[in-house]
Chain A
Amino acid sequence: MTMRAWIMRRVLVAAGCLFAAMVSGNAQSAIQTPALYTRWTNYTPANGFPAGEVFCVTVDGGRVWAGTTHGLVMLEDGLVKKVFTQKDGLAGRAVMSVAVDPENGDVWVGTFGGLSRYSGGKFTNYTNMTSGLANDLVYGVAVQGQNVWVATGAGVNRLDTRTGSWSIFNETNAPFAEPWGYGISVSKEKIYFAVWGGGVLSYDLAKQTWKPFNDPDGEMELVLYRNQGLIHNIVSSVSYNESTKTFWASTYFGLSGYDGRNWHNYLTKDSGLASNFINAVHSRGDEVWASTQGGLSELDTRTNTWVSYRRDAKTGHGEILVTHADGSKERIATQTSVAHTYILNTDFQGDDIWVATAQGLSHGMRAVNKEHGK
């Protein structure tokens, strides 16, 4: 073989490797982009939805429940079926949380006038005056077996639905730095509580013991070491992910996750998070969804890719910002978008996402094939 031939062969091999690497890279890039939600249907006063903020959204099989400033909305088959207000028996006007008991189908509703149970078409109310509920400001509610856990402005309550017994957990019997229970997440072994100003508390169901998770630098609104601990004590919600064994906490100063060994913290400055002011977090599979004041952000933990959704207030069109693991960004325009960029909560119906915003409820559907405006 001549030198020339040898060089040619080497060049060809190198070109082949380069091509293969490029193909591989492109393929990997395609894998690394999470599925995008490009089609949105919004529910606003224009189509029978109450005005004002939507504080929460909960999927209940084919039904969707949305808690708003003006009552509880039940949607079926994509239509607003009924708006429940105090006239219908709801405990309060503003609905902050909804939880569905998978066993009996009862719907538990946290309002600013107490706790309601919707069952068989009727409301039963539990208030500070008429039951063992510690406070009528109910921010969060969750069902764990026969117990209903309630996060209130005066600590956390547990209602045993079989015995009717109420238990109160607050600073007198648990490590509550602040009494404001905001959110609740149930796992098989533990209950996690988001406490506004008090970090995250976990309650071990078997041992009946509490464990606090607090910001190691106290109330400082900065992070000295990135993955040192909970990012801030003002925690607005918590979400435990059974598949990754990680709880995620949304704070007003960033997003925190704890897998039992390590913390995983995210700020806007070093991630694709839309805003550090986060109202809620929801994690499933490899996904972590942050409802922020600057848009809806998804972290794909498998690829470390961020996708954020926001609405152009002028045009009403949508904008998707993809932030890849290497820091590169990609902007995608969509015809439709979430109802408002200020996001308060999310839930999933199969692959579809439901998003509570400051001005309406949004239903997002994934892009079909390669459609997303590229």
Chain B
Amino acid sequence: MSGPRESSSNKLTHREEWAIGVAVLAMIFAVVLMFAQQPILASAAGRGPGTKVERPEAEVRYLSPVALQLSHDGRWLYVVCEDSDVMLVVDTRAARVLRRVKVGTRPKGIAISPDGKTLYVSDETSDAVTEIDAQSFAVRRTLKVGWGPVGLTTDRTGDVLYVANTLGNDVSVIDLRTGTERKRLEAGHYPEYVALSNDGTRVYVANLLARLAPPDRPPVSELTVIDCAKQVIAARVDVPGVIQMRHIAELPSSAGGYVLVPFMRPKNLNPLVQIPQGGYLTHGMAVIRPASSSADGPGSYQVTEVLLDNIDHYYADGFGVAETPEGRWALVTASGADVVSVVDATKLRRLLMRSAAQRLALANRLDSANEIIAERVATGRNPTDVIASADGQFAYIANRMDDTISVMDMTRRQMVSTIDLGGPKELTQRRRGERLFYDASYCYQGQMACATCHPHEGLSDGLAWSLETPQLGRDVVENRTLYSIAGTEPFKWNGKNPDLETQDGPRTAMYIFRSQGFNSKEVEDLVGYIFSLHLRQNPHLAGDGTLTDAQARGRAMFFRDKSNSGAIIPPMQRCYTCHSPLTHFTSRVQLNVGTATKYDTISAFDVPQLEGVAMKPPYLHNGEALELEDIWTSYNPEDKHGLTSDMNKAQLNDLIEYLKTL
């Protein structure tokens, strides 16, 4: 038979033995290599604060989910990720990401057409909206809108898109049939999010910052109301005492028809030493009831403010809000506390009706939450947007700082799963710092995070704060932006903090957070993050940097050495001496420019950097100058703040046009 041949064939030749040896060695090498790599991956998954990053920080692009939409059947969850310029399509049944759709830069918001066939994503830095086919997920077209678009919604017909432009302080009204901007409606100060009313007659616009007002008055924010039929501003509703109004939800009429808007309520005119007494920075939501179906004038709206904090613990930085379809629950994310608060809408309505006579007093009562909060449910890091499914079964929460979606079972009001969106697992220093920036747990009772007073990635909240001395009304100073502050040391208006490490470390712990604060490694991370913040775009400056005629004339005024009469201007009265372009338009010293008032204990103030100056009113150390013009028309009577008295009005206008380009 074939025995010998078999025997012969079973016997390996040397060549075969050699080949097998090589293969085995290769396998061993591969296994070794695999095991050698595994600890690195495990370490990244475990990611302690000191984790080494294997690739340059700039290459690590987190997702940072910030906005959510659901398909009408609830099958697909659309997730807008601001740090990766993508919209993700998540299969809610399989709990996994199916598609990545590339959109414009820094996407922030999302809307879905009434028929569910089209998605619109706002691209904040592109000043555009990406229109996406909700079936094929192909990008159909890009729509040009105003400056810094964030929130958006279509009207009932699906023919009109309303887009809130943060930097433009307005709302673009887009004709979707032609893809062109039909008009722009001026909103309040820094409009971020919008919502279509349940009856489709109005669009509500929540403005992040309060209206500009004298610094000794409490802030007043605005809910702007647009009449959809006429496409005009129908009302500017005062929401007193609060700032940072974010997302908007409306309960069904069967649940009271209230419009809910999360806010922060600062006591900025009280000395900061009162933080340990509680109630200094509270967080809650405006509960706004339109008086009737017609929206004409602010008097048609009743505004009540309800706090969502506990007496001894705060739920900082309300961000997203959603209602369940039948109006039983309202969900409010506390982005600084990593919690979603579940509001019992029935009890909320009962509280409002019972408090009708003392409605305004609710704004300062920290016991309301005991009555109206059904649950506090832990989320991922830095929860932003929240959305409830059409059947009321589930709610989804976008966790910006860990690239996940929390899935909440609304019947049990518990988290049931977390969807990993697939972001990088390693933590860069910047990301660690960013997490700290949004984290309110470092503050006494969780009252605030860095982001509480520097919302929207480092913006100033536009308020004057009593930070310096314990006396009421003394040394009130304007908050400052965090854009481009690297290299502008020292910090604070009195220049006492030589570097940001000092400011964010022991000083923040002692005077602001009233807690142990950040450790030295955390401070390092936080400073790294803050120094990375810049104004992402300056809409006043042409893309190629070319100045308009007025801006060029203004530049000449900024750098002039001679007055209109031809006299030499003393160096200390020239703009560019103290606001040197070589050092971010600051001289990094403290100077008396005649702006101190009788309420200040010092007269020399830090020279602020001017980059992005147009985006950070009010001005001067105490925020007295609401507009750039005020600095020179009202607060420079002796030319101590530069020689400006010889300028005519046109020259001053030109100077301002130039400053706006910085």
Contacts and interface: CB of A to CB of B under 8 A. Distances in A.
Interface of A: 103-106, 119-122, 128-132, 134, 146, 154, 161-163, 165-168, 170, 172-173
A120 B224 contact: yes
A167 B653 contact: yes
Interface string B175-199: 0000000011110000000000000
Nearest to B633: A129
A88 B222 CA distance: 17
Nearest to A173: B650
A162 B185 CA distance: 9
A146 B550 contact: no
Contacts of B170: 162
A117 to B, nearest CB: 8
Nearest to A163: B540
Residue from A120, A129, A162, A165 whose CB has the most chain B CB atoms within 10 Å: A120
Contacts of A132: 629, 649, 652-653, 656
A105 B633 contact: no
10 contacts: A106-B232, A106-B233, A130-B629, A131-B629, A132-B653, A134-B650, A146-B184, A162-B168, A167-B550, A167-B653
A165 B297 contact: no
A120 B168 contact: no
Nearest to A168: B650
The 10 closest A-B pairs by CB, nearest first: A105-B232, A120-B236, A121-B297, A120-B233, A121-B298, A132-B653, A129-B633, A168-B650, A103-B183, A122-B236
Contacts of B231: 104
Contacts of A129: 629-630, 633-634
Given A121-B298, A131-B627, A168 B653 contact: yes
Given A132-B656, A154-B649, 11 more contacts: A103-B232, A120-B225, A120-B233, A120-B234, A121-B235, A128-B649, A132-B629, A132-B649, A134-B649, A165-B550, A172-B650
Contacts of B634: 129-130
B598 interface: no
A167 B233 CA distance: 26
B633 A119 contact: no
Given A129-B629, A154-B649, A170-B650, A104 B234 contact: no
Interface residues of B, number: 36
Contact of B297 (A106, A120, A131): A120
A114 to B, nearest CB: 12
B15 interface: no
B626 interface: yes
B184 to A, nearest CB: 6
Contacts of A162: 146, 168, 170, 184
Interface in B605-658: 626-627, 629-630, 633-634, 649-650, 652-653, 656-657
Nearest to A117: B186
B93 interface: no
Contact of A130 (B184, B224, B630): B630
B299 interface: yes
A170 B550 CA distance: 15
A122 to B, nearest CB: 4
Contact of B233 (A119, A146, A163): A119
A167 B634 CA distance: 20
B5 interface: no
Given A120-B298, A154-B649, A166-B653, A104 B183 contact: yes
A122 B238 CA distance: 10
Given A121-B235, A132-B653, A170-B650, A104 B186 contact: yes
B55 interface: no
A120 B186 CA distance: 10
A333 B307 CA distance: 69
Interface in B191-239: 224-225, 227, 230-236
Contacts of B185: 104
Nearest to B171: A104
B553 to A, nearest CB: 11
Contacts of B234: 120
A276 B520 CA distance: 83
Given A105-B230, A161-B186, A168-B649, A121 B630 contact: no
Nearest to A132: B653
Interface string B36-55: 00000000000000000000
Contacts of B233: 104-106, 119-120
A173 B550 CA distance: 12
Interface in B317-351: none
Nearest to B224: A120
Contacts of A167: 550, 653
Contacts of A172: 650
Nearest to B233: A120
B170 to A, nearest CB: 7
A167 B225 CA distance: 30
Nearest to A146: B184
A131 B231 CA distance: 28
Contacts of A106: 186, 232-233
Interface string B251-291: 00000000000000000000000000000000000000000
A121 B237 CA distance: 8
A49 B224 CA distance: 31
A279 to B, nearest CB: 28
B298 to A, nearest CB: 4
B638 to A, nearest CB: 17
B309 to A, nearest CB: 30
B298 A130 contact: no
A162 B605 CA distance: 33
A58 to B, nearest CB: 16
Contacts of B550: 165, 167
A154 B227 CA distance: 37
Contacts of A161: 184, 186
Interface in B297-317: 297-299
Contacts of A131: 627, 629
A131 B298 CA distance: 26
Contacts of A103: 183, 232
A121 B297 CA distance: 5
Contacts of B660: 165
A168 B553 CA distance: 13
B232 A104 contact: yes
A128 B633 contact: yes
A366 B482 CA distance: 64
A96 B495 CA distance: 49
Contacts of B230: 105
A165 B629 contact: no
A162 B146 CA distance: 9
B76 to A, nearest CB: 36
A119 B171 CA distance: 14
B617 to A, nearest CB: 11
A132 B655 CA distance: 11
A104 B236 CA distance: 13
Contacts of B186: 104, 106, 119, 161
B191 to A, nearest CB: 13
Given A130-B629, A130-B630, A162-B184, A120 B235 contact: yes
Nearest to B225: A120
A110 to B, nearest CB: 17
Contacts of A165: 550, 653, 657, 660
B182 to A, nearest CB: 8
B391 to A, nearest CB: 37
Nearest to A131: B629
Nearest to B551: A165
Contacts of B297: 120-121
Given A104-B186, A104-B233, A132-B649, A121 B146 contact: no
A205 B630 CA distance: 31
